[in-house]
Amino acid sequence: MTIRRLTTTGLTATRLTATRLTATAAAALVLALGATACSSDGGTDARSSSSPAAPGTGSATGPGTSAAGVPKASGPITVFAAASLKETFTDLGKKFEAANPGARVTFNFGGSSALATSINSGAPADVFAAASPATMKTVTDAGGAAGEPRTFVRNTLAIAVPKGNPKHFAGLADLAAPGVKVALCAKEVPCGAAALTALKAAGVNLTPVTLEQDVKGALTKVELGEVDASLVYRTDVRADAAKIDGVEFPEAAKAVNDYPIASLAKAPNKDGAAAFVAYVQSSEAQQVLTAAGFQAP
pLDDT at residue 288 tops 70: yes
- CA-closest candidate to residue 273, choices 154, 144, 155, 153: 144
Across 13-44, b (16+ Cβ under 10 Å) vs e yields eeeeeeeeeeeeeeeeeeeeeeeeeeeeeeee
Q: What percent of the chain has pLDDT over 90?
A: 75
Contact, 115 vs 128, CB < 8 A?
A: yes
- pLDDT tens string 121-162: 999 999 999 999 999 999 999 999 999 999 999 999 999 999
| pTM, full prediction | 0.76
Q: 264 and 273 in contact (C-beta within 8 Å)?
A: yes
Mean pLDDT of 55-65: 40
> Which tens digits make up the pLDDT trace of 237-274?
999 999 999 999 999 999 999 999 999 999 999 999 99
pLDDT for 69 beyond 70: no
Contacts of 140 (CB under 8 A, 6+ apart): 149, 262
Mean per-residue pLDDT over the chain, rounded: 83
Report CA-CA distances (Å) from 117 to 71, 87, 263. 29, 23, 16
